[in-house]
Structure 1
Amino acid sequence: MNTNKEAAKEILAAIGGEENISSATHCVTRLRFALHDENKVNKEALEKVDVVKGSFSTNGQFQVVIGQGTVDKVYKELAAQAGITQASKEEVKTAAEKNLNPLQRAVKTLADIFIPILPAIVTAGLLMGINNILTAGGIFGEQSIVEMYPQWADFANIINLIANTAFVFLPGLIGWSAVKRFGGNELLGIVLGLMLVHPDLLNAWGYGAAQEAGEIPYWNLFGMDVAKVGYQGQVLPILFASFVLAKIEIALKKRIPDSFQLLIVAPVALLVTGFIAFIAIGPITFAIGSGITDIFVAIFSNFAALGGLLYGAIYAPLVITGMHHTFLAVDLQLIGSIGGTFLWPILALSNIAQGSAALAMYFILKDEKVKGLSLTSSISAYLGITEPAMFGVNLRYRFPFICAIIGSAIAAVWITVNSVMALSIGVGGIPGIFSIEPGKWLVFAVGMVIAIVVPFVLTYLFAKTRKKDLA
């Protein structure tokens, strides 16, 4: 018996049948539906499907939590039964956006841009963690591994080069994803991004020193002095430039005959966008990005405990709304500007806290399905995937979610007052320690213990008071 085929059939019936589906797609862990009428969903029947770990509605989409690995198999079966074509994966975005307000659309746009490049960023973070283990002192002794064993130095150097590539050429990655999202040619987006970090430009990380020394090179364009500066590690310049490039390309394609498009559209769009980027977009957005960085740095420098408390408490609720994707751009901006981010470590602790609350429910619940889900989803959360734990267990009973937030906030206060920073974005769970600056590993480890123990104990004790309700 094909369990995935049967599960797809049951899910399809529970959401109101194929006639209720406007469009559908899936992500790493969830089926995502744009439904004609969400009131037709039979949530009770849906929750009884073996592979379903929870469901919720957000950002105009009804989402069914399945889990990593299984979700794509169930989607294929469901697509076959409902007659959903591959084109529906793109159509679901448009269908769902009809129900979004302007803020939700802006957040969704950022998510659509940054989620596709996450594998490269996370991989880079993990590799940088390996490099940290090899090159940082104080982990296995006063000397680093490469100092004790010099023959490993070149090995570590190559790992560092591979790891840094995604961050050095970050505008290229964002350019590809952003121009694609805005409807343009993604290959032109890559060229635009790489253009902003061209070796002939002054490296953005050396801009401050060059400015103090009065050594910033300039172009003279139309009587204006334009700084010959690159935008390594910057997010806003390439985002806005990508939008302009896509819109110019779309406008030209509508007005130029097909036979001349290859010779005119791409060269003109890239040339015009390039001039605009260096003359206006780059300097303006660089200043805005620096201002955003300064605000966050000021808050976490002067009010570290408050900043940690608030971000630790709101991160999990932000995940429910999808607004957490907004802070990925801030993390990348901080890494590019100050060499690290104090926000991402809190994300890792929040994920751990959600896993701990779900794990506590394993020792309380009697329902075998939810009990099993509590255990498997807690492991998943410890490894950075929180949706099964949050939507399948913690939000279902509410109090585990709140207990997890309390533990996350306390752990976040601890690491922020101790100035913990991540050198890169990595796996947002227990493996996240490898992305933390080596000198703060012990402090972060204490934060992880807090994020594990506090939610578990609070959830377990509170559950005991409601034992009859949970039986």
Structure 2
Amino acid sequence: MAADNKKIVKELIEAVGGKENIASVSHCATRLRIMVRDKEKIDQDSVENIDKVKGAFYNSGQYQVIFGTGTVNKMYEEASKLGVAESTSSEQKQEAKKQGNMFQRAIRTFGDVFVPIIPVLVATGLFMGLRGLLLQEAVLGWFGLTPEDVPANLITFTQVLTDTAFAFLPALIAWSAFRVFGGSPIIGIVLGLMLVNPSLPNAYEVGEGVAEPLTFFGFIPVIGYQGSVLPAFIAGWLGALFEKQLRKRVPEALDLIVTPFLTLLVMIFLSLFFIGPVMHGLENIVLSGTVALLEAPFGISGLIIGFFHQVLVITGVHHVFNFLEIQLLEQFGSNPFNAIITCGIAAQGGAALAVGLKTKSKKLKALALPSSFSAFLGITEPAIFGVNLRYVKPFLMGLIGGGVGGFIASLFQLEATGMAITAGPGILLYLNEQIILYIVVNLLAAAVAFTLTWLFGYSDKMKEELEKAS
């Protein structure tokens, strides 16, 4: 199997113009992201005909090749062994600056900061779901217990599992921001921990009215930033830039002492007295706007978000919603956004499934059926880029299905206990009284997209006409 993967990567390297045309290679959950020097040297047809490739496209300054979850990690390892993924992070950043517009680069950088911390937030969401399931009165009743019978120490243990990541979220974000922007990650961790130091009034307690903010200079309110995102992100970004400038100016003999000292001193002062209050205020405005949209009457928010979310997946800017989901979980302990977007994901799977079952083309069937399965597991890129978007109408039918499912999810106020997992695996975020409704809205979204695609969205005649035109 490893030999097959090595052969695939070699073919891919040749198809994108050889090693000399590759500046660097990275990957996300499903895509191998190749920073190419000249996109005109890419042989698109050759890439799409390579075994295990489920689609490929150029976006945001990168050539993105879809392999699917799990497979992409193995391909990246083979690429590393062949020496095409060994560019330094600074070289990759310099190359990235040349490609994509300012908005695309900003979104890509935002995603680079948040993607590495998502796994722990996923785990936290699963812990929340499991705790919610196990502590339900009905479940406890199976064992002859009531909520009062649950030991206090066990409750404390579950709180350690579910609360830690959000309590120390600024440390995770500041660490990742320092890493992305070229600073020392360990300084980022310490700066983030300073923002949630127990000596500061706890943000949750201040929000509940149990504690009062500290007042400096007579007018600046200072609190801890447990669960906050923007203050740590901005502090990490500026802190990394400041540290890099210091290292250029501080003599090497003094660098070990002076640079960390000044970086932490200056950045904690700025973070607590300026960045924190300003960004926390902005954070509250963004959160309020999001909540207002999600609380729009008659399921309007679900209809809009469920329809358009997969359009944003095409552009790659959907990572920006990680910030919103984190804020929803931190503030309310639940995530209605997840419940809506998962319908759009299931719908794209339903559309791809219709294409796979309806077509007589063995090649398309072999692509569409596994792609639909991948979508039902929460990864839609193979279905979108490999099937639905290629024939356009299946993608549109998937959008309609997502809108219908999102409408129902919003109407019944379906809410997840976590984030980042959707569709089938997303069931783990609804292990409470919502689980049946969650399954129903996803099946409904997929069924609508499947039916519309079968009736109006695809035919082999359409496939033949498209191939002739191309």
For the pair 1:336 / 2:330, whether they are aligned, the reply is: yes
Counterpart of 1:363?
357
- CA shift in 2, pair 1:74/1:94, >3 Å: same
SS at match of 1:224: coil
SS at match of 2:225: coil
Counterpart of 1:402?
396
The superposition leaves residues 253-285 of structure 1 with CA deviations (integer Å, 9 ceiling, x where unpaired) of: 111111111211112211111111111111111
- CA shift in 2, pair 1:360/1:147, >3 Å: farther
Whole-Å separation in 1 of the counterparts to 2:369 and 2:159? 36
Counterpart of 2:290?
296
Which moves more between the two structures, 232-241 or 90-99?
A: 90-99
- CA shift in 2, pair 1:171/1:116, >3 Å: same
- CA shift in 2, pair 1:131/1:90, >3 Å: farther
- CA shift in 2, pair 1:373/1:160, >3 Å: farther
SS at match of 1:343: helix
Whole-Å separation in 1 of the counterparts to 2:184 and 2:392? 45
Q: Shift of the alpha carbon at 1:384? A: 1.7
Q: Residues 421 and 437 of structure 1 are in contact (CA less than 8 Å); yes or no, is this contact kept in structure 2?
A: no
Whole-Å separation in 1 of the counterparts to 2:70 and 2:144? 37
Whole-Å separation in 2 of the counterparts to 1:184 and 1:265? 11
For the pair 1:58 / 2:59, whether they are aligned, the reply is: yes
Q: How is 1:105-124 mapped onto 2 (pairs within 5 angstroms)?
A: 105-124=105-124
Q: Residues 135 and 146 of structure 1 are in contact (CA less than 8 Å); yes or no, is this contact kept in structure 2?
A: no
Q: Shift of the alpha carbon at 1:247? A: 2.2
- CA shift in 2, pair 1:142/1:453, >3 Å: farther
Counterpart of 1:461?
455
The superposition leaves residues 176-211 of structure 1 with CA deviations (integer Å, 9 ceiling, x where unpaired) of: 10111122111111111121122222221222332x
Q: Residues 348 and 430 of structure 1 are in contact (CA less than 8 Å); yes or no, is this contact kept in structure 2?
A: no
SS at match of 1:11: helix
Q: Residues 135 and 144 of structure 1 are in contact (CA less than 8 Å); yes or no, is this contact kept in structure 2?
A: no
Counterpart of 1:44?
45
Q: Residues 135 and 147 of structure 2 are in contact (CA less than 8 Å); yes or no, is this contact kept in structure 1?
A: no
The superposition leaves residues 9-54 of structure 1 with CA deviations (integer Å, 9 ceiling, x where unpaired) of: 3222322223332333333322222223323322222222121111
Instruction: Give the TM-score of the pair, scaled to structure 1.
Output: 0.90
Match of 2:242 among 236, 240, 248: 248
The superposition leaves residues 395-434 of structure 1 with CA deviations (integer Å, 9 ceiling, x where unpaired) of: 2222221111111111111111222222321412222133
Instruction: Give the TM-score of the pair, scaled to structure 2.
Output: 0.90
- CA shift in 2, pair 1:437/1:273, >3 Å: farther
Counterpart of 2:281?
287
The superposition leaves residues 158-183 of structure 1 with CA deviations (integer Å, 9 ceiling, x where unpaired) of: 34421322122111111110111122
SS at match of 2:390: helix
Q: Residues 25 and 88 of structure 1 are in contact (CA less than 8 Å); yes or no, is this contact kept in structure 2?
A: no
Whole-Å separation in 2 of the counterparts to 1:173 and 1:114? 9
Whole-Å separation in 2 of the counterparts to 1:371 and 1:110? 36
For the pair 1:227 / 2:221, whether they are aligned, the reply is: yes
Q: Shift of the alpha carbon at 1:321? A: 0.9
Q: In structure 2, what residue type is equivalent to 1:229?
A: I
The superposition leaves residues 427-454 of structure 1 with CA deviations (integer Å, 9 ceiling, x where unpaired) of: 1222213324834333333211212211
Counterpart of 1:4?
5
Which moves more between the two structures, 251-260 or 4-13?
A: 4-13
Q: Residues 131 and 156 of structure 1 are in contact (CA less than 8 Å); yes or no, is this contact kept in structure 2?
A: no
SS at match of 2:124: helix
Q: In structure 2, what residue type is equivalent to 1:218?
A: L
Whole-Å separation in 1 of the counterparts to 2:42 and 2:148? 62
- CA shift in 2, pair 1:93/1:460, >3 Å: farther
Whole-Å separation in 1 of the counterparts to 2:285 and 2:431? 24
Which moves more between the two structures, 334-343 or 284-293?
A: 334-343
Q: In structure 2, what residue type is equivalent to 1:117?
A: I
SS at match of 1:429: coil
Gaps of 5+ in 1: none
- CA shift in 2, pair 1:13/1:263, >3 Å: closer
Q: In structure 1, what residue type is equivalent to 2:323?
A: A
- CA shift in 2, pair 1:341/1:28, >3 Å: closer
Counterpart of 1:218?
214
The number of residues matched between the two structures is 463
Q: Residues 353 and 450 of structure 2 are in contact (CA less than 8 Å); yes or no, is this contact kept in structure 1?
A: yes
Which moves more between the two structures, 185-194 or 142-151?
A: 142-151
Q: Residues 126 and 427 of structure 1 are in contact (CA less than 8 Å); yes or no, is this contact kept in structure 2?
A: no
Whole-Å separation in 2 of the counterparts to 1:304 and 1:174? 36
Q: How is 1:141-290 mapped onto 2 (pairs within 5 angstroms)?
A: 147=146, 150=149, 157-210=156-209, 215-220=211-216, 223-290=217-284
Q: Residues 117 and 173 of structure 1 are in contact (CA less than 8 Å); yes or no, is this contact kept in structure 2?
A: yes
Q: How is 1:287-436 mapped onto 2 (pairs within 5 angstroms)?
A: 287-303=281-297, 305-436=299-430
SS at match of 1:23: strand
Counterpart of 2:32?
31
Q: In structure 1, what residue type is equivalent to 2:460?
A: K
